[in-house]
Amino acid sequence: MFAIISVGNRQFKVTQDLEFLTEKTGKNAGETFDAKVLLFAENNKVHIGSPELKSAKVSLKVLEDVKGEKVHGYVYKKRKNYQKTWGHRQKLQKVKVVSLSAV
């Protein structure tokens, strides 16, 4: 049994008790929320939503807030005496699938 869900601007293939990183959802650590279910498959039956399934439910629990890898950038313009460096760390959340149900 698995489902394809949408959290933020990304889609994930999830199964029971799977832990994964996603963009910040606005929830605090320990809170649970439901994700949009785009596809749900169990045994040999596949249910596809257009665009999402209203009857299926995937509950997620926020475990902790983390930061992603640091990304460095560098801008240089020749003969203009212009150089600039920058860095960015994306704020992420570690999320666990609590339950999958096709209702």
Q: Which residues of the chain have pLDDT under 50?
A: none
The pLDDT of residue 46: 93
Whether the model pTM is above 0.85: no
Query: In DSSP terms, which residues pair with 22 in a beta bridge?
Result: 93
Q: Distance between CA atoms of 64 and 8, rounded to whole angstroms?
A: 17
State how far the Cα of 61 lies from the Cα of 25, in Å rounded to an integer. Answer: 11
Rounded to whole angstroms, how far apart are CA atoms 88 and 25? 19
pLDDT on residue 77: 97
Confidence at residue 93, expressed as pLDDT on a 0 to 100 scale: 96
Query: Which candidate, 14, 68, 1, places its Cα nearest to that of 34?
Result: 14
Cβ(47)–Cβ(102) below 8 Å: yes
Nearest alpha carbon to residue 16 among 5, 4, 32, 1:
1
Question: What pLDDT sits at residue 62?
Answer: 97
pLDDT at position 64, please? 97
Predicted confidence at residue 47, as pLDDT, reads: 92
